[in-house]
Chains A and B, each alone.
Chain A
Amino acid sequence: MGKLSTAQLSSLGDSFLKMAQSVGEYRVENRAGLTLKQNNEIREIHRTLLNYADYFYTTSAKLMMDDIAGSLDRVRDITARVKRTYTRLKNFQKAIDIAAAVVRFGAAIFSKNLLAINEAIESIEEETKK
């Protein structure tokens, strides 16, 4: 037998759940006519069917990873590129601010003002630290 798909496993879970529901209904509706032993037996069957249903649902959820592994990798890769593009565009503002600081530095050199040169150097340092 080949491997069951996640959809088939979920469907099996549904089938076992329905069987369990029917058994549970039967026990509730016929409780008065059941002996203690019969009641216990039916309750045990009910529990077992529910456990099977749980198993199929959980296994289906676990195996879903096999179905989506490729898609996960692709979306992860695209997201990394989206973030890189965002950072690149964001950094453009930084480049403008650094360029402005460099222009101020150039102007200060032309002005031959030592204080202005010092301030301009500090300004470049600050911008490049951001």
Chain B
Amino acid sequence: MNRFLIISSRITVIFLLFLAGCINLKELNRFASNSSRNISKFDELAYSFRKACREKCLIAQFENKSLIQDCICRDEKTADSVLQVVYHVTEGYFDGLVKLSGNDLVDYRFNSLTNSLKEGNFGGLIITDRQAKAFARISALLSHAVLDAYRKRKLGEFIDEANEPIRVLLEAMAENLQSNLQGRLQTQRERMKSYYFDLLEDAGSSGYEKKNIIEEYHRLLNEMESRESKLNSYARGLKAIAKGHQEIYTNRNRLNAKEVRELVAGYAEDVRDMIDEFNKIKTED
């Protein structure tokens, strides 16, 4: 009877440990994965402060009808480096979350141990086939339960600590793109408009040349609009990620609750929609 009680209590402990570790991180993993994918779209923006500077110099060359033009883009290079740093740091963080919340991380394979612990007589120790298999099964169950619980606790800690700074970074980057880089795009559009106006006004231009000028102007205008759409779409994506992270942080202690899982899944979808929207924007770059 005593032996039965001991065995029963051990099974109960194992079962409870298993339940504690049985945490569904699917939605969190999807959110982190979509966020990482969205942030990595930075490389496809096809516009930067340096590019704005170089294009400004090009317009100046056109206006002066000269190849000689002092084109100093030092400040723009620094401005781009700020964006680059934020991009790499935020992408690295979400990439880490993807790995740590991955389903396969704590699915350890005990086959090697089962194969090693075959039925046999090891000196004074006799191991039956049933015992060897039971040992491997219990090891798998326990390690999964304990390590999954450990990983869940660590994820909670990381999300807790990262929430404020990651939001600061994502929102600052979105603001920088929407205010400053977008601003540079607007000034460039204004320069282009002025240049093409003068070109069209040139008394020497024939009707055919004027047609070509108008066509080229509209082609460049469309290109700028695409860039603008990409910047806006990307920045909105960053804001959606920040908002989603905030919700995960608020509910970090009940990630298993159905409504929280649905909420996180909703943010993961929002971020994915932003990726789709971004991908639909065509650019000629």
Chain A residues near B (Cβ < 8 Å): 7, 10, 13-14, 17, 20-21, 24, 27-28, 31, 43, 46-47, 50, 53-54, 56-62, 64-65, 67-68, 70-72, 74-76, 78-79, 81-83, 85-86, 89-90, 92-93, 96-97, 99-101, 103-104, 106-107, 110
A45–B192 CA distance with the chains assembled, in angstroms: 15
Q: List 30 A-B contacts (CB under 8 A).
A: A7-B175, A10-B179, A10-B183, A13-B180, A17-B187, A24-B190, A27-B197, A54-B56, A57-B180, A57-B184, A61-B176, A61-B181, A64-B176, A65-B85, A67-B168, A67-B172, A68-B82, A72-B169, A76-B89, A78-B158, A82-B100, A86-B105, A89-B151, A92-B106, A92-B147, A93-B109, A96-B110, A97-B112, A100-B116, A107-B122
User: Within the complex, what minimum Cβ distance (angstroms) separates B229 from chain A?
Assistant: 19
Residues of B within 8 A of A90 (CB): 105
Would you call the interface of chain B mostly helix, strand, loop, or mixed?
A: helix
Residue of A24, A31, A54, A106 most packed against chain B (CB within 10 A): A54
Q: How many A-B residue pairs have CB under 8 A?
A: 175
Q: How far is the CA of A100 from the CA of B180 in the complex (A)?
A: 59
Within 8 Å CB of B191, what residues of A?
47, 50
Nearest CB on B from A55, distance (A)? 8
**Which chain B residues border A20 with CB–CB below 8 Å?**
187, 190
Bound Cα distance A17, B190 (Å): 9
User: Does B166 sit within 8 A of A, measured CB to CB?
Assistant: yes
State the interface size on chain B (CB cutoff 8 A): 64
